[in-house]
Amino acid sequence: MTIRLNQENLPRIAVAKPGYDRKALKGGIVHFGLGNFHRAHQAVCLDRLMNKGLGFDFAIVGAGVLPSDARMREILAAQDYLYTVVEQSAGASDARVVGAVIDHLPAGDAGAIIARLADAETRIASLTITEGGYFIDAATGHFDVTHPAIAADGKAPDQPKTVFGIIVAGLRARRDAGLAPFTVMSCDNIPHNGRVTREAVVETARLSDPDLAQWITDNVAFPNAMVDRITPATSDRERAMVRADFGIEDDSPVFCEDFLQWVLEDNFPLGRPPLEEAGVEFVADVTPWEMMKIRILNGGHAVIAYPSGLMDIHFVHEGMENDLVRAFLDKIETEDIIPVVPPVPNTDLGAYFAKVKERCANPKIGDTIRRLCLDGSNRQPKFIVPTIADRLAQGLPVEGLALESALWCRYCAGVTDSGAVIEPNDPNWDRLTVVAKAAQTDPSAWLGMAEIYGETGRNPAFAEPFARWLAMLGEKGTAATLRVWLGQ
């Protein structure tokens, strides 16, 4: 017999659960994007803290502007904002009910969200709106103030529709009321996420109120953060597992790996929860940790992804079980990527990479190759191209990284080595497919995408091996090409 998850039934649920009085919690954090990653990461850290009797003033109030936010609100409200997190190692699955979320504002109701942001109780506005939610112009790498949604918020700042327009309106309300501003904390997986968020908020404000933009520049904190936890999407499979394994009827459980990392710059003028008591590492500058993660972990994901995708491998752990993929990852990380990653305080980069491999090999997660292949046009310029550029600047070879780029190009042509069609897997898929097909006879067509490769694509030391590997992939296929590069 299963038990429906809600506050009334909580005492009957036989897994770890909140040991604190949820009625004593205050909503000090407004969070945009109450998806799986946030609920398995930031909310879990706060729940750990609250179970120690700390951080009661920093419970989470959800907010959002997307249709999916409305559905999440509906599901969580029916469960009194409780949900199950299942942490999975290779040998065990442990569940706990998380209680750090106490409310979710109506999705798209800008007035309600602005009012909550303007409330003196709110001290942090945090975000997990995905990498693509920051309106970054791919050609310039900066915030796109000409995007129609942002331009509309600039023309009608009292009726904002975007996250950034709403944050600006909330800050305006606090300024006008004489209240100190809340801290804006991005928890998205983008380099220098605090800096990126600052630019988005300031430039949105500048469209309608230059004085407010200056006030935000002078007064609002935007700490950078490095966040990490593999958190696959929830499906009927996961809901059924929670029922079968733990006896809980939960319409929105979260499954994740048993690894969690959060490195955060300590810049919170209105105060913050003592998250160091929950395993969060506070530092003056997050850059070294951020570069380590982006290049070794996220870059490593790309190295696994495209050969696996071309060889019709479905799950990430299955990719790690493939001798060629695993050897490709080992060689490219140890010879190409790690040697140009700057040192990280108190961190062994080799040990970090060993942990990455262990995580990727975890069969319990069910993470898919398709997810790792997703949105390469946004991820490659952040996770792979900077390493290529650094190696070229140092006069170092880029054979392995050129092969990785050729594999991505081949993937975007839309057909696996077996002839199976690859369904669209990038916001720019249609354009990428056209260019990838053209690159089969003219490799410069692919490297000419300046928004992805910039000057790097025109460097002969990269362009020549890229063209060579792309031609070999077309002639021999993925497995044979990998064997050539590996010297097998």
**SS3 label, residue 87:** strand
Q: Which domains does the chain have, with CATH numbers?
A: 3-283 (3.40.50.720), 287-486 (1.10.1040.10)
Residue 477 falls in which region: left (phi positive, over 0), alpha (psi -120 to 50) or beta: left
Determine the average pLDDT of the residues in 144-173: 97
**Nearest CA among 465, 417, 231 for reference residue 308:** 417
Closest residue by Cα to residue 87 from 49, 40, 46: 40
Q: Is the pLDDT of residue 138 over 80?
A: no
Distance CA 261, CA 422 (A): 33
**pLDDT at res. 141:** 81
Report CA-CA distances (Å) from 361 to 9, 230, 320, 385: 36, 12, 6, 25
**pLDDT for the residue numbered 1:** 84
pLDDT, average across residues 314-341: 98
* Reported confidence tier of residue 223, pLDDT bands at 50, 70, 90: very high
Q: Can you give the C-alpha Rg of the chain in angstroms? A: 23
- Which strand ranges, in their side-by-side order, compose the sheet holding 183-186? 101-104, 60-63, 29-32, 124-127, 183-186
Q: Give DSSP secondary structure letters for 382-449.
A: HHTHHHHHHHHHTT---HHHHHHHHHHHHHHTTB-TTSPBPPP-STTHHHHHHHHHHHTT-THHHHT-
* Predicted local confidence at residue 181, as pLDDT: 98
**Pairwise CA distance, residues 83 & 26, whole Å:** 18
Res. 111: pLDDT tops 90? yes
pTM of the model: 0.89
3-state secondary structure of 236: helix
268-282 pLDDT, tens digit each: 999 999 999 999 999
pLDDT level of residue 365 (50, 70, 90 thresholds): confident
Pairing mode, strands 124-127 and 183-186: parallel
* Whole-number pLDDT of residue 408: 98
Phi, psi (rounded to 5 degrees) for 420: -70, 140
Q: Where are the beta strands (DSSP E) in 248-292?
A: 248-249, 254-257, 261-265, 281-283
pLDDT recorded at residue 233: 86
Residue 60 vs residues 32, 73, 234: alpha-carbon distances, Å? 10, 13, 21
Q: For residue 63, give both structure tokens.
A: 């907010």
Residue position matching structure tokens 């569940």: 95
- Does the pLDDT at position 400 exceed 90? yes
How far apart, in Å, are the Cα atoms of 165 and each of 30, 127, 189, 377, 413? 15, 14, 21, 26, 37
114 and 174 Cβ atoms separated by less than 8 Å: no
pLDDT tops 90 at residue 261: yes
For residue range 422-437, what is the model confidence (pLDDT) as tens digits? 999 999 999 999 999 9
Q: What's the pLDDT at 366?
A: 83
| The predicted structure's pLDDT at residue 131 | 81
Q: How confident is the model at residue 68 (pLDDT cuts 50, 70, 90)?
A: confident
The region, left, alpha or beta by phi > 0 then psi within -120 to 50, assigned to residue 306 is: alpha
> Which run of H or of E encompasses 287?
helix 287-292
Per-residue model confidence (pLDDT) at position 232: 86
The SS3 call for residue 338 is: helix
In this structure, what DSSP letter does residue 270 have?
A: T
Q: The tokens 């690894």 sit on which residue? A: 259
Rounded alpha-carbon distances, angstroms, from residue 339 to 200, 263, 393:
33, 22, 13
Distance CA 378, CA 141 (A): 10
What mean pLDDT, rounded, does the chain reach? 96
Q: How confident is the model at residue 318 (pLDDT cuts 50, 70, 90)?
A: very high
- Its sign, for the CA torsion 238, 239, 245, 248, is positive
Quote the pLDDT of residue 343.
95
Q: What is the pLDDT of residues 178-213, one digit of tens each?
A: 999 999 999 998 889 999 999 999 999 999 999 999
263: Cβ contacts below 8 Å, ≥ 6 apart: 225, 226, 280, 281, 282, 283, 286, 289, 290
- Residue 224 to residue 5: CA distance in whole angstroms: 35
Distance in angstroms (rounded) separating the CA atoms of residues 36 and 108? 19
Identify the pLDDT of residue 322. 98
